[in-house]
Structure formats: C-alpha cells, structure tokens
Amino acid sequence: MGFARKKIALIGGGQIGQNLAMLAAMKELGDIVVLDIGDFVNPIKGKALDLMEMAPHGNYDANIVGTGDYADIAGADVVIITAGKPRVAGMTREDLLATNIAIIKDVANGIKTHAPKAFCIVVTNPLDAMVYAFYKLTGFPKHQVVGMAGTLDTARWRAFIAMELGVSVSDVAGTVLGGHGPDMVPLPRLTTVGGVPLAEIATKEQIDKLVLRTREAGTEIVKLFGRGSAFFSPAWSAIIMAESFLKDKKRILPGAALCEGEYGINGLFIGVPLMIGAKGIEKIFQIKLTDEENAMLQKTAGVVKNTVAETKL
Ligand code: APR
C-alpha cells in the first residue's frame, strides 16, 4: 500500500514556508515535507499536523509532515528553499548576505545528499546571489535550479497596473526582467491590458509611477511590517513555478536562471523569461530589447555581479 504522489520538500518553515505548505496542499500538488531547525522543529511538526486536520474542509488528500531531518526529504520531486532571515525595516536584501550564505551552505549540503534529482526553487534573499551560491554548492545541472523573483516582481507589476487603472488583473500581461532589487527592469513596452498596449491606456506619469512602485514593492511591505518581509505573494509565486514543473504545464514565467551568453550576460543567475516544464528550466527566451531597456538590464546585472562576488564562490 502507499501513494504514488509527487513529493514537495519545503526547506524553511517560516512565514513563506508555512504558506507554501498550505497552498501546495490546497492545490493537491502532492505529499509535503517541511524542514526547519532547532527550536522550530516542533512548531513545524505541529503546523503540519494542523494542516492535516484542515484537510477535511480544505478537501485535499496529502500527507503533510514537519521534520528536522533531511533524510525525510528523500525522493522529493521539487524542493523550495526559504530557509534564511528576512529583512527588517531599513535593511536592503544585500544586508542579509552574510547570514543567509551560511544557511544556504547547510541547506545545499542537505539537498545534495538527500534529494539530488529534485527541481530546486530558491526564494531566500538576496535572491540572485543565493541561487547562484546554491547552484555552485550543489553542482546540480543548471536546468534544475531556479530563483523565484521575477514571477513575484511580475505579479506586483500586474497588480499595481490593475489597481491604478481599475481593471481586472487577469487581463494584465507583462514581464519584469533583471535582479530582484530596485534596479529590476519592468517592461512597459511589452505590457498589455486585454491586448491593448499599456502606453495607450496609461499616461507616461502613471507608467513611471508604476515602475517605481514595482521596484520598491518589497521594501514598501517591509516598512509596513517593521520586521519580516512579504510572504503570501512570494509563496504563491513559488507554487506557480513548482506546479508548472510538477504538471509539465510549460508556463512562461520570469525567474532567475543561469545565463551563459543570453542577453550578453555570462555566469550569473538573473531574471529572464523561462519555460518551466517536467525537465525543469526547458528554455530561456531572449527578447529583443531597446537600447534603453538593455542598458537597464546590464545595470542590474552589474549589481548582481557585485553581490555574487561577496559570496566568494
Ligand atoms: N535550515 C532550515 N531552516 C532554516 C535554517 C536552516 N539552516 N536556518 C533558518 N531556517 C528557518 C528559520 O528557522 C525560519 O523558520 O527558515 C525560516 C525562515 O522563515 P522566516 O524567518 O519567517 O522568513 P520568511 O518570511 O519565510 O522568508 C524567508 O525568503 O523572501 C525571502 O527575504 C526572505 O530570506 C528570506 C526568506
């Protein structure tokens, strides 16, 4: 007896990890293991049990467990990594580097040993450097490692456009490229609302304001929280990526992938449009950018390069 379900391992059972567990359950993506450390192990076991007890009303079948032992992630199809400290007000994502690189080293080691075939989605900040570090430390093939940032940045861009214009967010389509920081590159030129180019229904002032708000969206939330950073929208964004992999949906989503010549960028993880399917990252799309857009992308790549250098990997 037993179930032939997919298996999802969540490394880090904090704000994002807990929401990931709930969303993965409600979407019936498979069985779920949430791993945390030290004093957080018993609480995550309790929260996993709480989610099992939610199942009759949530109407899902899934085995959900909390653990402190990497052996329990064995056989995972997908691993989502949120282990690490979030920001407090006044911090940049880069300020987290020293603390979180030590955590990623530990996590990379555990995943490499116990789930070496899993598709890995890194969420820990500073994102572009942490996904690079994870890739270097595990030695996994590049199609097996992705950073979750562009999918969230694009969700924020779409949400702000819908809020500003008073239209359905379902009709807003667009993408955000680059690093997960204030230099990210939303692309208004390629954004549409129900097929109508954004520039035809929003003024330049509105668009400039929306670009700025998107770039600072994470910080806007950190300021309101005081301690900690966004968790609902990051969790949904990572789940969308995991779902596309698990169900071979081949969604086109922006995410941080290892670029080796794409967009003239070499050896860095940076947010670009990807196709995610059963093989992991199945394709990187190269959009023809204007000179101005390309200059912005090269600028954000320069920022990412400096942060990556600090990992000393
Ligand atoms: N192994 C496993 N889990 C760990 C480890 C480790 N070595 N170190 C820390 N953790 C756990 C913490 O115990 C905590 O439960 O990671 C969890 C992080 O949860 P939160 O502090 O609530 O942070 P969260 O809001 O979920 O954000 C996690 O994602 O978006 C980024 O900037 C954010 O880096 C942060 C990460």
Q: Quick check: is 2 in a domain?
A: no
Pick the catalytic residue from 57, 114, 143, 180: 180
Nearest to 144 by CA among 277, 305, 39: 277
- Classify residue 236: in a domain, yes or no: yes
Cα dihedral 9, 13, 17, 22 sign: positive
Residues contacting ligand 1 via CB (< 6 Å):
11-17, 35-37, 40, 82-87, 96, 100, 103, 106-107, 123-125, 228-229, 231, 234
Nearest residue (by CA) to ligand 1, atom 15, is: 14
Residue finishing a domain among 124, 149, 174: 149
Give the count of domains, the chain.
2
pLDDT in tens, 13-69: 999 999 999 999 999 999 999 999 999 999 999 999 999 999 999 999 999 999 999
Atom 35 of ligand 1: nearest residue by CA position: 86
- CATH, residue 291: 3.90.110.10
Q: How confident is the model at residue 263 (pLDDT cuts 50, 70, 90)?
A: very high
Q: What pLDDT does 1 receive?
A: 61
Least confident of 21-25, 86-90, 116-120, 250-254: 86-90
Residue 23 within any structural domain of the chain = yes
Token pair of 280, please?
């992991």
66/54 Cα distance (integer angstroms): 15
pLDDT in tens, 161-185: 999 999 999 999 999 999 999 999 9
* 63, 49 Cβ separation under 8 angstroms: no
Distance CA 286, CA 294 (A): 11
If one residue of 15, 79, 180 were mutated to test the ligand 1 pocket, choosing by the most ligand atoms within 8 A of its CB, it would be 15
Same domain, 104 and 171: no
State the Cα–Cα distance between residues 100 and 256, nearest whole angstrom: 18
Residue given tokens 């955000």 in the structure block:
176
Q: What pLDDT, in 10s, does the model give residues 273-308?
A: 999 999 999 999 999 999 999 999 999 999 999 999
**For the whole model, what pTM was predicted?**
0.98
Q: Are residues 252 and 195 in the same domain?
A: yes
CATH number at residue 45: 3.40.50.720
Cα–Cα distance measured from residue 242 to residue 262, given in angstroms and rounded to the nearest whole number? 24
Do 144 and 154 lie in one domain? The reply is no
Comparing C-alpha atoms, which of 168, 233, 274 is closest to residue 15?
Answer: 233
Q: Amino acid letter at 31?
A: D
168 domain residue, yes or no: yes
Between CA 120 and CA 189 the distance in angstroms is 32
57 flagged as catalytic: no
Same domain, 142 and 281: no
Which whole number is the average pLDDT over 230-255?
A: 98
Same domain, 292 and 189: yes
208 shares a domain with 101? no
Residue 58 belongs to some domain of the structure = yes
Q: Give the C-alpha separation, 36 to 108, whole Å.
A: 14
Which among 37, 42, 95, 239 is the best mutation to test ligand 1's pocket, defined by most ligand atoms within 8 Å of the CB?
37
74 and 157 share a domain? Answer: no
* Gap between the Cα atoms of 179 and 77, Å rounded: 27
pLDDT average, residue stretch 242-270: 98
Region 115-132: mean pLDDT is 98
Q: Which atom of ligand 1 sits closest to the CA of residue 100? A: 34
Q: Which atom of ligand 1 is closest in space to residue 83's alpha carbon?
A: 16
The whole domain housing 201 covers: 150-311
For every residue of the chain, which 3-state class applies, written as one string?
A: CCCCCCEEEEECCCHHHHHHHHHHHHCCCCEEEEECCHHHHHHHHHHHHHHHHHHHHHCCCCCEEEECCHHHHCCCCEEEECCCCCCECCCCHHHHHHHHHHHHHHHHHHHHHHCCCCEEEECCCCHHHHHHHHHHHHCCCHHHEEECCHHHHHHHHHHHHHHHHCCCHHHEECCEEECCCCCCEECHHHCEECCEEHHHHCCHHHHHHHHHHHHCHHHHHHHHHCECCCCHHHHHHHHHHHHHHHCCCCEEEEEEEEEECHHHCEEEEEEEEEEEECCEEEEECCCCCCHHHHHHHHHHHHHHHHHHHHHCC
| Cis ω for the linkage preceding 254 (within 30 of 0) | no
Distance 196 CA to ligand 1 centre (A): 40
Rounded to the nearest 5 degrees, what angle is found at the Cα of 246, between the Cα atoms of 240 and 249?
65
Whether 255 is in a domain gets the answer yes
Is 1 a domain residue? no
The residue contributing the CA closest to ligand 1 atom 31 is 124
Residue nearest to atom 18 of ligand 1 (CA): 14
**160 and 141 share a domain?**
no
Indicate whether 303 and 225 sit together in one domain.
Answer: yes
Going by CA atoms, what residue is nearest to atom 5 of ligand 1?
83
Percentage with pLDDT > 90 across the chain: 99
Instruction: Report the nearest-CA residue for atom 29 of ligand 1.
Output: 124
Both 154 and 289 in one domain: the answer is yes
Task: Classify residue 48: in a domain, yes or no.
Answer: yes
Mean pLDDT of 215-236: 97
Tokens of 154: 């694009």
Domain end call among 149, 180, 195 = 149
Q: Are residues 114 and 213 in the same domain?
A: no
Q: What is the pLDDT of residues 1-16, one digit of tens each?
A: 678 999 999 999 999 9
Cα(291) to centroid of ligand 1, in Å? 38
Residue 8's identity, in one-letter code, is I
Residues 235 and 221 grouped into a single domain: yes
Distance 86 CA to ligand 1 centre (A): 7
110 CA distance to ligand 1 centroid (A)? 15
Q: Rounded to 5 degrees, what angle do the CA atoms 307, 308, 309 make? A: 90
- Residue 238, CA distances (Å) to 81, 201, 209, 282 in order: 10, 30, 26, 17
Domain limit, last residue, from 108, 125, 149:
149
